[in-house]
Structures are given as structure tokens and as C-alpha cells.
Amino acid sequence: MNQLTEYRREFHKYPENGWREFRTSARVAEILTGMGYDVAMGPDVIEPGSVGEPERLSEEQIRQEMERAVRQGADPAFVKRTQGWPGVMAVLDTGREGPVSAMRFEMDCLPYDEPQRPGYRPCDEGYLSCNPQSVHACGHDGHTAIGLGIAAELMKRKGELKGKIKLFFQPAEETFYGAQSIVDKGHLDDVMNFIAVHIALSAENKPLPSHTVACGCRDFLSDRQLDVYLEGKAAHPCGASQEGKNALLAACSAALNIHSIAPHEEGLCRVNVGEIHAGVCANTIAPDAMMRIEYRGQKPAISEYAGQRIFDILEGTAKAYDLKYHYVDYGEVPAGASDYAMMEVVQRAAKKVPWFQTVYFEGNVGGTDDAAVMLTKVQQNGGIGSYVGIGADTTGPVHNPEFDFDEDCLQAAMELCVYALEELHGTDA
């Protein structure tokens, strides 16, 4: 088993949800320090003020998560350095004038349980998640491992490179504010080249299998999330039903209507009611309900269309059921597109990696990633970037609790990124 696979399996065994990645941050920082990097952590990496109230942990939650990280093997000194905020940055400063580039690697997991059954490799080979309601089902354990591999190779080549390369190990990609908090800290203000990788994307609208790569994606959807709170009135469902205002039925009605929103003629439009929580008991009309909603669009006009239709439905539902509602807006991750110029750099790098037998120039995201926040910032600087799809055979789709992937892709992805950075930062470039 190679080093990258060992890293990946360690992170898989100890998954942490968004803004809770204290063990992962501490281990990443410890490993990078051992390579010779001076690492920044916590508030030196992210801007805490950019993290919206819905995502903020209480002081007690932070204490519990940091204590768990130490119990699970993290170095207490590195956990302490987070100051209650996960996130790590390492900078390779060659000391020679040249471009500034950045790469982003996510660390967070998803909030559900991993299956425990024979025949499922993490279970059979001893790296099953040991944390409840936490599973790496989107490849972020692999991305973190790739980032550490890149860091090691860059340090070996430091004397052959020029400029600076920033490596961001980011919290909270699956939720909100992770990438934005790094951008708001100013770390990308001088960056002109940006690359992010993701395992198990698509090309030609088909999953990328092992031995394939897509050099960039241009179909990011924007993503906005809302928590909607419906305020009804409790009453006995038999003896006083006329006095009740059923928030549960209102939420169900709204959900069905939201999922009936017509497509947009200019591109992809996606809506989803992912959670509904309502009711107190069987013999009481539900006095309140909470709905968690997201909507996505390929263009700003499409996102605006979806949002307007959702609020039209909420207004109509509130009137129909004679109740009130309010909402919390998590904000928006923008749509985005890789730059052809950087995709060409990645293409040349991919052709140097024997493991990649098929190289697609353009791939498909199939959704949203807040790497688009960083990509957009670099493009606003006048720079270029790409979001690269790394092919891998998988045991299920991303965000499925049984998602696992061909770990041979880790070494190939690392080699590709190092070749690309060598082209951008080589002393003869």
C-alpha cells in the first residue's frame, strides 16, 4: 500500500463534517510540517466573520469536537492551533520571482452513516468510519491525500521551481462558506493560476472510469440554500381541528409544488427539498415545520427564476394554510467555468501520466462546488484556472453512503498536478 492510500484510508476512518475538521486539520498540518512547510491554521487561513450564523458551532460543540480529535490521535498542539476553526494552508515559496498559483483540497465529509456489511471494502479492510453520522462519500478523503502527495513532491522540486504555490486544505465544501472564508481572508488576491481536482466526475455526461481524466469543467451550477420555518397553530385534530393551522401539511404541499417548477429554457435548473421536520405527536395538528431547500442554476437568470418561483410557492402556501413563514438564507455559491488555457496545461500534464489512457478535454461537474468561488476570484484577478475530473471506478455514485473508489487514481492525480505546476513554475517557463 502506497503512502497516498494510507493517508486516504486514515482520513476515511476519521471523517468530520463541515467546520468540525479538527483531527483532519491537525494531521494535515503535522504531516506538512514534517515535510518542511511552515503551515497556517484556523483564523490565519479562514475569515471567521465570513461564516454565516447557520454554520457556526457553539463553544461547547467546538470543545467537544476538538477533544474528540485528540482522542482519535491528533496532536493536541496542532488541534490547539486551530483556535476552534479548521483549515490549513501551506505555501511553497521558492524565493525566486515568478507566478503565484493555488490548489484547493476539501477535507469535510457528509452527515450520514457508512454501511457496515461484509463485501464493502472499508468494512473488510478496516478503515470504516468510526464517527456516527459521518462518511466520506464524495472523495474528499482522497483529495486531501492527493494534496499531501503534491506537497511532498513540490518540496523535493523546490530548487527547480520559481514563484509561489499555495496549497489550501479547506473545511466545509459540502455546506457553505468554506471557500468564501479563505477568499475573504485575502489569500487569493495575488493568485493567477488555480487548479482543483475531484474524483469521479463525468465526461460526455457519463461517469469517468479509471484511467481517464477530464482536463476541466465549464458547467458549474450556482447553488443557494434556504431553511424555511412555517409557523402554524396547534389544535386537537378531532375536537378542535377548525382552530389549527397545519404547518406539516403546508410544508408537504409546498415541497410538492416546488418539485413541480417548470424547467428553464436557457439551461439547467435544479430544485430540491432535502429535509422536512414537523409535528409533535399523532393527536396534535403540527404547529410548525422546517424545510431545507436548495436551488441551482446554470446562469444567474436561471437561479433567479428558481428562487422567485420558490418564494411564489411559499407565499401562496402561507395564504392557503393561513400561516406565517420566515427563512434563513445560507448564501450562494456561484456558477463557474474552467479556462481553456488552463485546461490545455492540464491536458499536456495528463499526457505525461501513463495511468491516464483516455484524456477528455472537457468534463461535467454535474452540480456545484465552492471551488468556483476561488476560480472566480482568480479570474477576476486576470488569471486562469481549471476544475479537473479524475476518473475512478466506484462502488456507487458520489453522495451514496457506499461510495468507494479505485485508489490507484490518487497517485495519477498527484502526478498530473505536479506536472501542471512544473509547467507553470519551471525555471525555464
Detail the residues annotated as belonging to a binding site. Answer: 138, 140, 174, 198, 399
Phi, psi dihedral angles at 322 (to 5 degrees): 55, 55
Q: Tell me how many degrees the CA angle 264-268-271 measures, rounded to the nearest 5.
A: 85
Q: In angstroms, what is the C-alpha Rg of the chain?
A: 23
Q: What count of other Cβ atoms lies within 10 Å of the Cβ of residue 358?
A: 13
SS3 306: helix
CB 140 within 8 A of CB 107: yes
Distance CA 58, CA 146 (A): 32
Interstrand relation of 212-214 and 358-360 (parallel, antiparallel or unpaired): parallel
Phi, psi dihedral angles at 272 (to 5 degrees): -155, 130
Distance CA 350, CA 19 (A): 33
Query: In which residue are the cell numbers 490545455 written?
Result: 344
Q: DSSP secondary structure string, 92-106?
A: EE-SS---EEEEEEE
CA distances to 30, 191, 194, 339 from 216, in Å: 31, 19, 12, 8
Q: What count of other Cβ atoms lies within 10 Å of the Cβ of residue 123?
A: 16
Which residues make up each annotated binding site for Mn(2+)? Answer: 138, 140, 174, 198, 399
Residue 35: all three cell numbers together: 515535510
Residue 110 is given by DSSP the state B
Q: Which residues pair with 195 in a beta bridge?
A: 103, 386
Phi, psi dihedral angles at 331 (to 5 degrees): 100, -175
